[in-house]
Structure 1
């Protein structure tokens, strides 16, 4: 079931649609949060968006295996 090579076209399109929906919902919510952050801190919206973009791109490189060793043992091998 979790192997995409065995999915039918309908299953692939359903997963794609679900992922697109999650990204759209999260994107609109993050946009509102960045707008509020920019208003509260006084920095421009573009600068707040740039900071958020940099932070989200750095998340995969965080040493999570040192912070949460039991939760990430299955995913990250040091």
Structure 2
């Protein structure tokens, strides 16, 4: 436990950890912002029919962002 507490004593490392956690929080909040003009119910039906396919696999890695077709899902998928 002292090693874990010691991480926050180093200023540079503390800033990097806080930045990383903030970016994760921003992404998780952005996942819940829907893309304008997309019918959410129709998209839900499409994803229900694609369970167990490659799209379901990508949806799993994006944390459900594709299923909701959020704004942030459009930018992260090329990197997965």
How would you bin the TM-score normalised by the shorter chain? 0.3 to 0.5
Question: Which structure has more RCO (C-alpha within 8 Å, separation ≥ 6)?
Answer: 2
In terms of fraction of residues, the more helix-rich structure is 1
TM-score with structure 1 length normalisation?
A: 0.39
